[in-house]
Structure 1
Amino acid sequence: MNAPSTLGLWRKSVNGRTALLYLLPSIILFSVFVFYPMFRTVYLSFFLTDQAGQAALNVGFENYAYLYESSAFRNSMKATALFVLYTVPVGILLSLFFALLANEKLKGIGFFRTIYASTMGISVAASSVIWLFLFHPSVGMFNRLLHVFNFPQIQWLLDPEWALISVSISTIWMNTGFSFLILLGGLQNIDEHLYESSRIDGAGYFYRLRRITLPMLSPTLFFIITISLINAFQTFGQIDILTKGGPSQSTNLIVYSIYREAFINYQFGTASAQAVVLFLFILIVTILQFKLGEKKVHYQ
């Protein structure tokens, strides 16, 4: 009786060690590039640091108290919230619209699918340089169009009222390709028999969209919304190239604020505190989304 039991435990132990061996490269990579930086950031958030980023003086929660009283940090959080509000809903609706168009069985639709997904192949740096020229106050295409129609010119990246909107427009364009491709894949996985049955029953396009397409696409939409929210909170590249947080700190999103605090002002303690606050904020938003949004997801 004991021999089979011992043999089973030995096999489980061998299988466990084998599984751990296969997982070891991933565990090492995650430890070096995810877990250690995360714990190091939390640790440094309780210290004042020197210019090398080494902990010099334990100040407890004073870095967090400083952020609570800092008008610059509150402005950064406000700008980040507005940026997310501008980019995520518009970007997802635009990608969904393009995906619905590209899902139609029309001659030459493959060309448009390629065009809609093409932004995936352009880096943030290259895209930002393109938009930098488009937004140029004197030679940019947008102001030239406004001039043709006798509208007043806009200082797109130099006016605090327009700078965040301008960066949001470029970000929506950059992210549309990825969202479009994922949504198109979700649309093409919907069973065609559902549409055929609804056509036989006399259902119109918008009825099918509301009763079949969106419910069947809801898992994909849920994924895209989650990814888009997290990416919007972590935006950095286009801010650094287009505005560098200006003008008047109107585009100083929290990730760029962390960069400035750490690598320009050499205040790694307060930068780490900002990073911890950002992590907690994203965590709360993601949990709320799973709690509230997943109820409306229809898994097949």
Structure 2
Amino acid sequence: VVPGVLGALVLVLLLENRIRGVRLLRSAFALPFAFSVASASVVFAVFYNPASGVLNGLLSHLGLGPVGWLTESRYALFSVALTTVWMNLGYNVLVLSAGIGSIPGEVVEAARIDGASGLRLARSITVPMLGPNLFFLTVVSTVHALQSFGQIHILTKGGPDGSTRTLVYSVYEKAFAYGSSDFGTASAQAVVLLLVVLACTAVQFGVLERKVHYA
């Protein structure tokens, strides 16, 4: 959640600079939004391939040994999380770009007249005015993270050694996978997941929303 939201924020702030080809860059960074979960997972499965993957190819050029991105427990969850961050990046960029576009021009111009620019302008004007958008993305990204399933099923199937078995994937395994029909346990886990989502959302509304500036 944190890398996905903060990464999108950094990209959007950088794209606000008047540079050549900025529209092309915005489209490129928003491109992940067009990918389905299955498509993105298959693409990253190619990247993570231990024999012919792009990432291990880069490591070999640096003189480093191959890494089992999806086959070693210490790397598997990080690899799935990285895939999830990339998948959500496009949507986050779109939402924050729309938020920046809605900031009143006179507010930014007044800040520039007072001498604010660069990091000062971003910290004092842009980021506070993006408060509602950042709050929305934090809540939505948290719910999506807790409900992650497709990328786990395609990339690791909960392995290795259960290192990527989330609560959602455990519900699937108990109820449907490998001929299992333990619907009682799966239903109990689904209720627990609902309570976790409600608790996280309640905490975010109770803590983060107080710091949101609604223009």
Alpha-carbon shift at residue 151 of structure 1 (Å) = 1.1
Displacement of 1:229 in angstroms is 0.3
Q: Distance in 2 between matches of 1:287 and 1:153?
A: 43
In 2, Cα distance between the equivalents of 1:114 and 1:204? 25
1:273 aligned onto 2:154: no
Instruction: Identify the residue that residue 11 of structure 1 maps to in structure 2.
Output: none
Which of 196, 208, 212 is equivalent to 1:293?
A: 208
| Structure 2 equivalent of residue 122 of structure 1 | 35
Q: Say which one has the larger Rg.
A: 1
State the one-letter code of the partner of 2:154: I
Q: Percent identity?
A: 44
Query: Alpha-carbon deviations, 1:242-296, whole Å to 9, x = none?
Result: 0000000000011111000000221001000000000001101101110111100
| Separation in structure 2 between the aligned mates of residue 137 and residue 253 of structure 1, nearest angstrom | 24
Measure the CA separation in 2 of the matches of 1:141 and 1:108: 27
Aligned counterpart, 2:26 = 113
Aligned to 1:220: 133
Q: SS at the partner of 1:298?
A: coil
Residue correspondence of structure 1 range 1-300 to structure 2 within 5 A: 88-264=1-177, 265-300=180-215
Q: Aligned equivalents of 1:105 and 1:148: distance in 2?
A: 35
What's the counterpart of residue 62 of structure 1?
none
Q: Is the 8 A contact 2:13 2:122 kept in 1?
A: no
Tell me the number of residue pairs that the alignment of Structure 1 and Structure 2 aligns.
213
Counterpart position of 1:56 = none
Contact 2:174–2:181 under 8 Å retained in 1: yes
Question: 1:261 touches 1:271 (CA, 8 Å); kept in 2?
Answer: yes
Q: RMSD value over aligned CA atoms? A: 0.9
- SS in structure 2 opposite 1:150? coil
The residue number in structure 2 matching 1:48 is: none
Q: Per-residue deviation at 1:106?
A: 3.0
Q: Distance in 2 between matches of 1:210 and 1:98?
A: 15
Secondary structure of the residue aligned to 1:273 is helix
The answer to whether the Cα contact below 8 Å between 2:129 and 2:213 also exists between their aligned partners in 1 is yes
Post-superposition shift, 1:117?
Answer: 0.5
Shift of 1:207: 1.5
Q: Deviations over 1:103-132 (max 9, x none)?
A: 333332110011000111111101111111
How far apart, CA to CA, are the structure 1 residues paired with 2:19 and 2:55?
32
What is the TM-score of this pair, normalised by structure 1?
Answer: 0.70
Kept after mapping to 2: 8 A contact 1:102/1:184: no
Structure-1 separation of matches of 2:94 and 2:171: 32
What secondary structure sits across from 2:3 in the alignment? helix
Aligned residues of 1:99 and 1:184 also touching (Cα < 8 A): yes
What is the TM-score when the length of structure 2 is the normalising length?
0.97
The answer as to whether partners of 1:103 and 1:188 remain within 8 angstroms in 2 is no
Q: Deviations 1:188-238 (Å, cap 9, x if unpaired)?
A: 111111121112111232111111111110001000000000000000000
Q: Which runs of 5+ in 2 are unaligned?
A: none
Report what 1:13 is aligned to: none
CA distance in 1, matches of 2:66, 2:149: 27
Task: In structure 1, list runs of 5 or more residues that go unmatched.
Answer: 1-87
Q: Deviation digits for residues 29-55 of structure 1, max 9, x if unmatched?
A: xxxxxxxxxxxxxxxxxxxxxxxxxxx
Which amino acid in the other structure matches residue 274 of structure 1? Q
Contact 1:226–1:286 (CA under 8 A) maintained in structure 2: yes
Amino acid at match of 1:293: L
Contact 1:233 1:255 in 2 (8 A): yes
Q: How far, CA to CA, are the matches of 1:198 and 1:290 in structure 2?
A: 30
